């Protein structure tokens, strides 16, 4: 049986991200079959037991995840010329007054806060920003199958054949897309449910069937809904909420 890099295996098991794993190993916070591991690059067998030190578990427990209703005009991560990253909207003043969590805002919550998935500059709705590598991996990892739901306003005429292609049969970047759920919401709006997130996927899918997207809003990721969160406001992910 071939050995696997410890940090990779920790990430695969959902213990943390690979970067976090390396940090924990350096600090002596990782045990394999009861033995403390401190050497980066250590390889182990897939069936060996991995445990985190209480210090690592406590650090993970203190990490926050933020739900933001991103307005049009903000980019998810790297700022483009003339635009600001969505994380700039996360401050004490813009917190949603209806936030039901007891978490007190701290500037430390902005450290390492990164988007778990993209939402285009001309799209709005639910954007997840997190300090927790486990949540990021569950949402954007290669094996993630978490549903993402969108309301999409369109222009153009869509045939039954075109609607069928939106469900299944289209390819982007030379690869077939996973099966999607697409239904009419009203006369000029479609509801999309996807289990993947290629760059500008919905807009490109619509172009392939002769439609133009004039508005796009994400309203759900997994079991977490945008709900009544106002545009430009944010709240903490609650302790009882899971994607």
- Taking CA atoms, 28 is separated from 11, 44, 215, in Å, by 17, 16, 49
Residues in the chain, overall count: 243
**What tokens were used for 145?**
């199958």
Spatial separation of the C-alpha atoms in residues 174 and 177, rounded to whole Å = 9
Annotated catalytic residue: which of 120, 132, 188, 239?
120
Q: Is 120 a catalytic residue?
A: yes
Helix (H) / strand (E) containing 175: strand 175-176
List residues with catalytic annotation: 120
């Amino acid at each position: 049986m071939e050995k696997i890099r410890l940090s990779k295996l920790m990430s695969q098991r959902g213990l943390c991200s690979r970067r976090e794993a390396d940090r924990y190993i350096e600090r002596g916070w990782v045990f394999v079959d009861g033995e403390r591991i401190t050497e980066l690059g250590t390889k182990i067998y897939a069936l060996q037991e991995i445990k985190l030190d209480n210090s690592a578990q406590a650090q993970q427990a203190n990490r926050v995840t933020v739900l933001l209703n991103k307005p049009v005009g903000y980019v998810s991560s790297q700022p483009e010329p003339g635009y600001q990253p969505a994380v700039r909207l996360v401050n004490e003043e813009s917190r949603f007054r209806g936030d039901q969590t007891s978490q007190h805002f701290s500037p430390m919550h902005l450290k390492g806060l990164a988007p778990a998935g993209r939402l285009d500059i001309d799209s709005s709705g639910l954007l997840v920003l997190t300090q927790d590598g486990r949540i990021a991996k569950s949402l954007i990892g290669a094996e993630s199958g978490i549903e993402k739901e969108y309301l999409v306003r369109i222009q153009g005429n869509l045939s039954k054949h075109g609607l069928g292609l939106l469900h299944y049969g289209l390819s982007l970047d030379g690869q077939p897309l996973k099966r999607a759920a697409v239904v009419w919401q009203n006369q000029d709006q479609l509801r999309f449910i996807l289990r993947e997130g290629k760059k500008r996927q919905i807009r490109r899918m619509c172009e392939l069937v002769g439609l133009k997207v004039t508005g796009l809003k994400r309203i759900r990721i997994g079991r977490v809904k945008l709900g009544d969160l106002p545009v430009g406001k944010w709240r903490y992910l609650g302790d009882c909420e899971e994607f």
